[in-house]
Structure 1
Amino acid sequence: MRAAILVEGVSDQAALRALARRRARDLDADGIEVVAMDGATNAARYLHDYGPQGRALKLAGLFDEAEERFFRLGLERAGLTPGPKTEDLEEFGFFVCRTDLEDELIRAVGAEQVLALVAAEGEQRSFRTLQRQPAMRDKTLVHQLRRMMGGRSGGKERWARLLAETVPLDRVPYPLDAVLARV
């Protein structure tokens, strides 16, 4: 292995692998591992293990906006010092998903297209039930879709893969394209 893309979880991993396939990239053949860390709080350990103090692999990563502090701290502990702005982490190959991966993909695919995908997957009735719940009634469609995707075990992984397989290649969210281009 020559490089590692560190991601928070299996949904990020599934999306990046699906997108790489669509871009005709064989990550395994290229010696690139997409490592699901079981949460951003584990970033420091993985950055240590895979980075300059560990296996010394070329690193890249993807993180949700709210989890930046864990990646920043991990980079610092690994001996890398990013500047104070979120974009400064890109110098080290780490890219932020504004709100989160699902939000990036829903916006790129388009909420109406995602609704069509929900129907095609046989989940329309379940989604309509979720929309009628008191806590969801006043939420945006994007918020409701994000909630549906994370509502069941394995749901985030499933929907991340499906959305990555659906998004037009000229509309792939910047952080996903950028992290793959980095390695």
Structure 2
Amino acid sequence: MRAVVLVEGLSDQLAVEVVARRRGRDLAAEGILVESMGGATNIGHYLDRYGPLVVAGLYDRAEERFFRRALDLPVGDLEQRGFFRCTDDLEDELIRAVGAAEVERLVEAEGRLASFRKLQQQPAQRGRSLHDQLRRLMGGRSGGKYHYARLMAEAVALDRVPRPLTALLDHL
């Protein structure tokens, strides 16, 4: 292993691996391990574990402080070290890149449209955008983020891959 990429969760790991494969890269063959940390607060532990092998990562905007603190970097220097910020999270980025209507079609193709329609009728979901309802669908079920991250990473046009994911793969 020559390098480690740190991501917050399994859904991020899967999306990175799928998009890398679709771009013609075999990260494992290149000696690059994509490691899910089980949450941003664990970054210090993973930096201790892998030390100089850590070359890059993805993080959510709300978790930036953990990355800056662990890497001892001021604001703005994270990208120079290979760490790229998602606006809310990678699923949010992928929904925007694929398009909410297309993601809804993916939900339908998975046979989960009826369940999604029930979620949309919940009082807390009425009036929310399709994008936000889809994020709720993914985050509300065990394994939902993981399942849909794979589907969206397979569906996104390569010229529309979210910037943080493109920047990460270009950095490697």
CA distance in 1, matches of 2:69, 2:50: 15
1:129 to 1:116, Cα distance in 2 relative to 1, 3 A = same
Q: Which runs of 5+ in 2 are unaligned?
A: none
The correspondence of residues 89-100 of structure 1 with structure 2, limited to 5 A, is: 89-100=78-89
The correspondence of residues 6-45 of structure 1 with structure 2, limited to 5 A, is: 6-45=6-45
Is the 1:8–1:39 Cα contact (8 Å) retained in structure 2?
A: yes
Deviations 1:19-56 (A, max 9, x none): 111011111100000000010010111122222xxxx2
SS in 1 for 2:78: helix
Output the TM-score relative to the length of structure 2: 0.97
The AA in structure 1 aligned to 2:5 is I
CA distance in 2, matches of 1:32, 1:49: 15
Is the 1:6–1:35 Cα contact (8 Å) retained in structure 2?
A: yes
Q: How much is the aligned-residue C-alpha RMSD, in angstroms?
A: 1.0
Is the 2:37–2:46 Cα contact (8 Å) retained in structure 1?
A: yes
Q: Kindly, what percent of the aligned residue pairs are identical?
A: 62
CA distance in 1, matches of 2:18, 2:140: 22
Q: What is the match of residue 154 of structure 1?
A: 143
> Are 1:75 and 2:71 counterparts?
yes
**How far apart are residue 153 of structure 1 and its match?**
1.1
Is the 1:103–1:146 Cα contact (8 Å) retained in structure 2?
A: yes
Q: What is the match of residue 117 of structure 1?
A: 106
Output the TM-score relative to the length of structure 1: 0.91
**How far apart are residue 57 of structure 1 and its match?**
1.1
Q: What is the match of residue 138 of structure 1?
A: 127
> Are 1:66 and 2:55 counterparts?
no
CA distance in 2, matches of 1:84, 1:65: 12
| Structure 1 ranges of 4+ moved more than 2 A | 82-85
**How far apart are residue 83 of structure 1 and its match?**
2.9
CA distance in 2, matches of 1:67, 1:9: 12
The AA in structure 2 aligned to 1:100 is D
